[in-house]
Structure 1
Amino acid sequence: MKLFNILLLLTLTCVASQNASTTFLGRNCPPDGFDSLNEFDFDEFISARWYAIEQKEVRFQPLDQFYCVYAEYELADFCPFCLGRPKITVFNSARKGSVTGEVRSVNFRAVVPSPRRHPARATVGPRFLPLGLSRSTNYWVVDAGSYADILANEPRPSGTPYEWAIITTGRPNREGADGKCYTRTGMWIFARNSDADLTVMDAVRNRAAELGLDTSQLLPVEHTGCTY
């Protein structure tokens, strides 16, 4: 029953975020020019585990689950409605209450509806949803790069690994602190390392603010002492 409730909440979240691009609740939101990455190395992005360093609290992951959070992505073998578009299995894991608390994990499926026009946008939801029939997206990689390039404030050179990423559930349509914007259904800062350098993460957070995101919505995830 608990798993069903989680999946139900995620289903409702998917529907809400798919409609987010047409609901504007902030005068300044979404920020001008806000978009997902147009140049995107899909295979590199899903090649290794991502750790959530900071994220927004949402209904399906409250603050008491901000421990040891990570996500893994793999190409899926079977998706009858995907029609040749990239399809991914998604595994999300967290612990409840502490770094030694109960593991809370869930499996999703994701599809990239428009790999040529929007390679860094995906539709993510429970496995029972026919995601391949939808062109709405609720997972946007809005920036990503290596630790070296973010510290140097330079674009990621082609062919270098992704080591950090900023994720939103579509366009941020709600106005928060200082006129910055956020998405009600989720924002994340990811890193390849759970113990990513604080200087690097501060630079990534600053980059998120430059994109127009309300970084006050992003709260730290505890990884010290985690066993994955």
Structure 2
Amino acid sequence: MHATARFLALAALCLALGAAQARGARHLAAAAAPAAAPGANSSACPPYGFDALEDFNVTDYISAPWYVLAQLPLIYQPVDQLYCTQARYVPLNPEDPLEGLQVINFSRKGGVSGEPVSTGAGPSLVATVPDRSQPSKLSVGFDFPGASQLVGTQFGSGPYWVIAAGEGEQGGYEWAIVSSGPPTAQGADGCVFADVSPRAAPPPGPGPGPPAALACQAADASPASHAPAHAPGVAAGPSNPFSPSHACL
């Protein structure tokens, strides 16, 4: 088992659930849904109080790889490449992570033993912090050499908000939920992101076809019963086509 396995859940452009230091069984906790303000419309989107974390430490967040439990497909991560998905964040300036992070995604194509795929092989995927006073609200996009200076922005950039996270017994983040900003559309079961059709979350506890990142844990962990299925107040989105495998980590 990987010494620093952590788990992430991405919502919207990505819906992911996160993790921390490997210590046998991992206990992933769900974040509480924000309470509705008096007179607030409970069906309004985004949900009342929806925001990124106020207290967030980027250095702790990037201290170890993240293993994605569930996410929506992306243009550079189609459905058939969402097996054993891992994300690493490398500071562009080790002395100041808020100056930007290189995002290196790794996954396998077609199955848990399929061809390895990495965003590190092409144009850099970079996360920036537009407002240093809000480090939990990042922006991720492709950074072609010299292009950012010409157009003043990254290509295909979008928000990357850490909206919930939990710490492990030994410190560091054990799980996290990431959203591509606030959900603005009303779905059948809650707010959704853009035109994504919500789908019921899987029942808690062990079951057929658990995410590979979960199945990679020790057999006695059964973390699926502890992992939050989706962001508070946000409808569950499509999950990854993960397959059980202890070879993922």
| Higher helix proportion (structure 1 or 2) | 1
Identify which range, 132-141 or 99-108, moves more after superposition.
132-141
Asked if 1:127 is matched to 2:148, the reply is no
Change (3 A) 1:141 1:105: same
Moved over 4 A (4+): 131-137, 191-194
C-alpha distance in structure 2 between counterparts of 1:40 and 1:104, whole Å: 30
Structure 1 segment 2-151 matched on structure 2, within 5 A: 28-77=44-93, 85-107=98-120, 108-116=125-133, 118-128=134-144, 130=148, 138-146=159-167
3-state secondary structure, aligned to 1:29: coil
**Structure 1 unaligned spans of 5+:** 1-12, 14-26, 149-158
Amino acid at match of 2:110: G
- The Cα offsets for residues 97-122 of structure 1, whole Å up to 9 and x where unpaired, read as 01111111103111111121x11011
Q: How many angstroms does 1:65 deviate by? A: 1.3
Q: How many angstroms does 1:59 deviate by? A: 3.5
Q: Conserved in 2, the CA contact under 8 Å of 1:75 and 1:88? A: yes
Amino acid at match of 1:161: G
The higher radius of gyration belongs to 2
- The Cα offsets for residues 167-202 of structure 1, whole Å up to 9 and x where unpaired, read as 1111112333312323568xxx9x899538444x44
3-state secondary structure, aligned to 1:177: coil
3-state secondary structure, aligned to 2:227: helix
Instruction: State the superposition RMSD in angstroms.
Output: 3.5
Change (3 A) 1:194 1:121: farther
3-state secondary structure, aligned to 2:162: strand
C-alpha distance in structure 2 between counterparts of 1:57 and 1:111, whole Å: 21
Asked if 1:167 is matched to 2:178, the reply is yes
**Structure 2 unaligned spans of 5+:** 1-12, 14-42, 197-210
Question: How many pairs align?
Answer: 181
Amino acid at match of 1:46: I
Change (3 A) 1:220 1:100: closer
Change (3 A) 1:75 1:101: same
Q: How many angstroms does 1:43 deviate by? A: 0.5
Q: How many angstroms does 1:64 deviate by? A: 1.2
What corresponds to 2:203 in structure 1? none
C-alpha distance in structure 1 between counterparts of 2:177 and 2:227, whole Å: 8
Amino acid at match of 2:68: A
Aligned identity (percent) is: 33
Q: Conserved in 2, the CA contact under 8 Å of 1:99 and 1:222? A: yes
Q: Name which of 182, 205, 210 aligns with 2:228.
A: 205
C-alpha distance in structure 1 between counterparts of 2:137 and 2:70, whole Å: 20
3-state secondary structure, aligned to 1:217: coil
C-alpha distance in structure 1 between counterparts of 2:159 and 2:178, whole Å: 10
3-state secondary structure, aligned to 1:43: helix
Structure 1 segment 210-225 matched on structure 2, within 5 A: 211-219=232-240, 221-222=242-243, 224-225=245-246
